[in-house]
Amino acid sequence: MYTCFNCGAAWDSSLRQPAVKETCEGCGAYLHCCRNCTYHRQGYPNACYIPDTEKIADRRRANFCDEFEFISVTTREKRAGAPRKGDATLAALLGEGSDTPESTSGVKEWLGTSDKVPEEFDDLFED
């Protein structure tokens, strides 16, 4: 099964690949983009596991990459690894949401106990 990187909606198709301009039924995000690709990796050149792929400016927008392969939901979950708590913490770090003492302690707790930065975190700083 394949899901949208943005809203998590299942991509209901008998095909293995979305069309380049295909969008998510749930949120309208492009499906044929790095964020939905199994080869998208932080820390690699062009944030891609495949060498010498076309330079992509926006990992959320549709690309024409020949190497695109929709990441399966199981692989996505495995990669995500970190608990969902990380997402809330990230919002706190960026000053989104509340500035209550509660969220601040959440940041400290997370930074203190996790040695792995979620992939989502890296994405914010690329390019």
Tokens for 2, please give them. 């394949």
Site for Zn ion in 28-87 (CB under 5 A): 29
Of 23-31, 38-46, 54-62, 114-122, which part binds Zn ion (CB under 5 A)?
A: 23-31
CB 51 within 8 A of CB 43: no
d(CA 119, CA 82): 9
Residues forming a β-bridge with 48: 40
CB 20 within 8 A of CB 65: no
Residue 10 Cβ, how far from Zn ion at the closest point, in Å? 10
Query: Which of 2, 4, 53, 76 is in the footprint of Zn ion by CB under 5 A?
Result: 4
Query: Which of 2, 11, 18, 24 is in the footprint of Zn ion by CB under 5 A?
Result: 24
The reply on whether position 10 binds Zn ion by CB under 5 A is no
CB 70 within 8 A of CB 11: yes
Residue 52 Cβ, how far from Zn ion at the closest point, in Å? 29
Residues forming a β-bridge with 2: 72
Residues near Zn ion, by CB under 5 A: 4, 6-7, 9, 24, 26-27, 29
